[in-house]
Structure 1
Amino acid sequence: MVISISDNSKKTKKMEDYENETGKFAIWRGRVTEGFKKWQKGEKIYEKDKERIMILVSDEVKSKWLNFVKKFEYTTASKLIREAVNSFIELKESNSSRKPLPQISHELKESLTIIKGYSHLLFEEYKEQLDWDVILKIKTIYDQSLILEHKIIDNLEQPKVEKSHYDILIIDDELLTINLLVDYFEMKNYTCKYFLTGTEALEEIKYSIPKLILLDILLPDIDGYEICKKIKSNENLKKVPVFFITAVPHSEVVGKMSETGADGYFLKPFDFSKFKILFDYL
């Protein structure tokens, strides 16, 4: 029987799929083509300038691919494979043209050095001559440059496998507090390392165990109570002294001491005479 169709508007969805996949007509001169009939029966249609490639896969992989074909309405598994291979090639070529992360880190740091350096210089050398609101803006620029420097190091530079050695880990999202504490302990000849978020700090102590941890309670991601619980429940870290540094009410902190296992606390603003107890741990 010959199927005759004189109007292209009568094309079925299958016919359109066939034409898109093979580049051939499903209807020619008002008749359904033999190529479409074969394709509809499941027979393979090959171009003369195309070469057949066979691949061997397990039944599990084959089933997974065919389920994907059905779910996303691919006409054949071959079409899925072709698209997947082309996408992989494009991705590889795109990645090969990208700059390596250490190079990006170096370029960002070069510009950041100018911003950080000049803001620090202006703050230290001209703070007596500038209005208070100008000083605050300069200090904000400097503080933000420190945050950006920290993010560049964490996200673009290769992590060090070997353990770093320092005395005190400070976890606080306020850079003014961090700078104050770092200056204080460095005057006492102790080394410090700091993080602005709990997530970063928890990642750090997987590889490096400090002698002492000073921990703010109100952090942008994980609160200090939860961080302390994680530290004290870890077999490798539970002996590390943890002291809260916080501006939350005294009654709240005291109520959390037993639950979190913290070794002590210091309320903001600090009374540095009370810090003497810390040196017993250092």
Structure 2
Amino acid sequence: CTRMCLDKPPQPPDDVKPAVQAQRKIPKEKEEPPLKATEIENLESDKVKKLIKQYEEETGKYAIWRGTNTVAFKKRLKGEKVYDHLRPFKDIPIVKDIIKSKDSHYDILLIDDDLSTLRLLTTYFKSKGVTCTAVTSGTQGLEELENNHPKVVLLDIILPDIDGFEICKKIKSNQKLKNIPVYFISTIPSSEVEKHLAETKADGYILAPFAFSDFDGILDLLG
């Protein structure tokens, strides 16, 4: 028995081209979330830190934060929009809560179609260090409440689209909004307003013309 040992494999003749082997594409591995959450020590909002921690605990996945220390970045910090999760996580309920949550970026929502009243009250509250947002219709007020939870709502009864009684009912029947105190501001006689307090579940009312001292109770609520 003869055994041949070849140092090199046999080579094809020069005039014969080697067959081209088909190359199989190897699929790329899916990227997995990092083992650790990105540092969030620069975040200025304790609320956001708490929400991110809650998200991580409930999902077992880590929050991903992308951002740099630019002016725009710092502005986002103050607005509490300081999260950017991996796309697959964005439909998780807790993430939706984080994204939508402004949670009292201001103290009072004013709903009144009288511009002079709005200017007067916003100027007064600002002098007291109270932040407020003003809208001139019931529809705008309800839209504002979809994503914002002020600490108090001051509501005119006579509005161009939806009356204040109906707006108050909508607020108080909403599970997320029902605990927000709602106070009517109106020129309607007190006897007429009081008829609707029970059905609307309003927390009180202030009659116009009013004095600034009439809002002392509101300021006390804001602490």
Residues 16-71 of structure 1: CA deviation (Å, up to 9, x unaligned):
xxxxxxxxxxxxxxxxxxxxxxxxxxxxxxxxxxxxxxxxxxxxxxxxxxxxxxxx
Answer 1 or 2: which has greater helix percent: 1
1:196 positional shift: 0.5
Does residue 237 (structure 1) correspond to residue 177 (structure 2)? The answer is yes
The amino acid of 2:201's aligned partner reads G
Tell me how far 1:166 sits from its aligned partner.
0.5
- Which structure exhibits the higher relative contact order, with contacts defined as CA atoms closer than 8 Å and separated by 6 or more residues? 2
User: What residue in structure 2 maps to residue 276 of structure 1?
Assistant: 216
Aligned pairs (5 A) from 1:92-111: none
1:169: which partner in 2? 109
Partner amino acid, structure 1, of 2:172: K
Report Cα offsets for 1:137-195 as digits up to 9, x if no partner: xxxxxxxxxxxxxxxxxxxxxxx966371110000000000000001100100011011
Query: How many residues were matched structurally?
Result: 123
Distance 2:190 2:216 in 1: 20
Structure 2 Cα separation of the partners of residues 266 and 204 of structure 1: 22
Q: Counterpart in 2 of 1:260?
A: 200
Any residues of structure 2 matched to 1:118-197 within 5 Å, and which? 163=102, 165-197=105-137
CA distance in 1, matches of 2:150, 2:100: 16
| Corresponding position: 1:223 with 2:181 | no
Q: Which runs of 5+ in 2 are unaligned?
A: 1-98
User: Structure 1: 5+ residue runs without aligned partners?
Assistant: 1-159
* Partner of residue 147 from structure 2, selected from 207, 212, 229: 207
1:161/1:232 CA distance change after superposition, 3 Å: closer
1:76-127 CA-to-partner distances (Å, cap 9, x unmatched) read: xxxxxxxxxxxxxxxxxxxxxxxxxxxxxxxxxxxxxxxxxxxxxxxxxxxx
Partner-residue secondary structure (3-state), 1:276? helix
Quick one: distance in 2 between partners of 1:162 and 1:209? 9
Distance 1:258 1:162 in 2: 30
* Separation in structure 1 between the aligned mates of residue 193 and residue 220 of structure 2, nearest angstrom: 22
| 1:69-88 to 2 correspondences below 5 Å | none
Residue aligned with 2:146, SS: coil
Rounded Cα–Cα distance in structure 2 between residues aligned with 1:162 and 1:279: 24
> What residue is the counterpart of 1:42 in the other structure?
none
User: Which shifted more, 271-280 or 225-234?
Assistant: 271-280
Displacement of 1:246: 0.4
Aligned amino acid, residue 278 of structure 1 = I
- Please identify the structure whose Cα radius of gyration is greater: 1
- What's the TM-score once normalised by structure 1's chain length? 0.42
Q: Percent identity?
A: 56
